[in-house]
């Protein structure tokens, strides 16, 4: 009996000496890193965002339909006529807060039409044709544009034309510089210089 009592006491002492294990925790706090989303730049909205070699134009060459789509600067109609557009030029002509664009184009078939100009204003979502130049009402018709320039909100076109209607279409005999200004609704010819066979014709 006495031995059983001693055994019980030994077990009690052994059990009371065993403390429950605790898991230590660090005293510091873990810093929180806030994720910041990178800003996405706004999509371009001006006319410079358009790929002018691969877009839709008004049908300036009568290829059929109201509009024609060029691919790599070219489009061919069922009538055998081809529309070709070349590198655009950007600048402020119509005096808005959006940049304008001039696009040289040519219609070629059995014969070429010479290089003319389309002028667009507006935005990439809504480009608006505001001019098709040169005007045919000028005293000396500019048959083909060689160079274009934007000077003080005016559009300057230079090229070759004819001194009279009797000159064959094959053989322009006049160098011409036309300057156009935007009047708020349309382009007007503000000045013209014409030189034929070494003789100044206009102004």
Between residues 23 and 106, which one has the greater pLDDT? 106
50 and 124 share a domain? Answer: yes
Which pLDDT does position 110 carry in this prediction?
A: 57
Does residue 172 sit in the same domain as residue 147?
Answer: yes
Considering the domain boundaries, does residue 97 fall inside one?
yes
Tell me the pLDDT tens digit for each residue of 168-187.
Answer: 888 888 999 999 999 999 99
Q: Return the structure tokens found at 201.
A: 């014709």
Residue ending a domain, among 131, 159, 185, is: 131
Q: Is residue 60 domain-resident?
A: yes
**Same structural domain for residues 113 and 191?**
no
Of 131, 163, 189, the last residue of a domain is 131
Model confidence at 37, in pLDDT bands (50, 70, 90)? very low
Count of the separate structural domains present in the chain: 2
Q: Highest mean pLDDT: which of 63-67, 140-144, 147-151?
A: 147-151
- Tens digit of pLDDT for each residue in 107-128? 988 566 799 999 999 999 999 9
125 with 144, same domain?
no
- Cis bond before residue 151 (omega within 30° of 0): no
Question: Are 144 and 109 in the same domain?
Answer: no
Domain hosting 148: range is 134-203
CB burial string 178-193: b at 16+ within 10 A, e below: bbbebeeeebebeebe
- List, as own/partner pairs, every contact residues 176-183 make where C-beta atoms lie below 8 angstroms and the sequence separation is at least 24, other chains included: 176/140, 176/142, 178/133, 178/134, 178/135, 178/138, 178/142, 179/154, 179/155, 180/131, 180/133, 180/135, 180/154, 180/155, 180/156, 181/153, 181/154, 181/155, 182/93, 182/94, 182/95, 182/130, 182/153
Q: Are residues 97 and 143 in the same domain?
A: no
Q: Is residue 17 domain-resident?
A: no
């Amino acid at each position: 009996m006495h031995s059983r009592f001693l055994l019980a006491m030994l077990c009690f002492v052994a059990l009371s000496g065993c403390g429950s294990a605790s898991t230590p925790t660090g005293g510091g706090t873990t810093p929180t890193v806030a994720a910041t989303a990178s800003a996405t730049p706004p999509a371009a909205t001006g006319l410079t965002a358009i790929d002018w070699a691969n877009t839709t134009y008004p049908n300036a060459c009568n290829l059929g339909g109201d509009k024609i789509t060029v691919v790599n600067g070219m489009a061919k109609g069922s009538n055998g006529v081809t529309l070709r557009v070349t590198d655009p030029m950007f600048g402020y002509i119509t005096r808005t807060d959006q940049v304008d664009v001039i696009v040289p184009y040519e219609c070629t078939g059995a014969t070429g039409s010479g290089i003319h100009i389309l002028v667009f204003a507006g935005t990439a979502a809504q480009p608006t044709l505001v001019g098709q130049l040169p005007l045919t009402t000028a005293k000396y018709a500019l048959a083909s544009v060689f160079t274009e320039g934007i000077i003080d909100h005016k559009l300057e076109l230079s090229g070759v034309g004819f001194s009279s209607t009797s000159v064959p279409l094959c053989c322009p005999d006049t160098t011409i510089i036309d300057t156009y200004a935007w009047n708020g609704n349309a382009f007007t010819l503000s000045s013209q210089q014409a030189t034929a066979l070494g003789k100044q014709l206009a102004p």
